[in-house]
Amino acid sequence: MASTASANIHITPQLGFTGGGIVKNSNDEKFDIKPSESFAISIESDLQTSRLGLYYSHQSSNVESENLDSTIQYLMFQSSIYYPLANQSFTYLGIGIGGSYINADWSDNHTGFAASLFGGFEYPFSDSVSFTSQVRWLGTVVDNNTTTICNLPSSHSTDCRIQFDTDWMNQFTMSAGMVMTF
């Protein structure tokens, strides 16, 4: 970790797998947003033994058995603290706050407050490249009082009503990536 006088910029692209999020239809049947691949990027700067920066995440998925598409994006300000381990590697814990944008076939586009907690491991290959792995909880405020009419695939003969199951949608992601330090 660098001191604030010589703060480094860290750019971290990551690939992962994100799951979580529940919707229900007018018959109170619950359906999960299918776990799927996701990608994220963070841009951070050193501040003593921590980092401050921005985090962006994107997941495209659909609702199980209903084949209704959804895209969930997060943009957050985040802070993490780093703890040294052997071999110049680090473990870290962090928090983030910001917003999410949900674009789904079955719902009006929705922007809401979002938060995250995360932890991970970073192993340096050189002074400028490290491997990282991370586990992250992502939560977003959603409006479950809005019931949206959705069009089912042509195999169904009627329309449906679908909505979020709760006021707070939880997702979890596991990812790995490379930290490039400048």
Q: Which amino acid is at 17?
A: F
Token digits of residue 113:
């407050």
Walk along the chain (182 residues) and give the pLDDT tens digit of each residue: 544 446 799 999 999 999 998 877 667 778 888 999 999 999 999 999 999 999 999 999 988 777 788 899 999 999 999 999 988 999 999 999 999 998 886 666 688 899 999 999 999 999 999 999 999 999 998 765 545 555 555 555 455 666 565 578 899 999 999 999 99
- pTM comes to 0.85
Q: According to the model, what pLDDT value does residue 155 have? A: 52
The length of the chain, given as a count of residues: 182
Q: According to the model, what pLDDT value does residue 46 have? A: 96
| CA-to-CA dists, residue 13 to 33, 71, 80, 106, angstroms | 24, 19, 16, 30
Q: According to the model, what pLDDT value does residue 3 have? A: 41
CA angle 72, 22, 173 (to 5 degrees): 50
Q: First-to-last CA distance in the chain?
A: 12
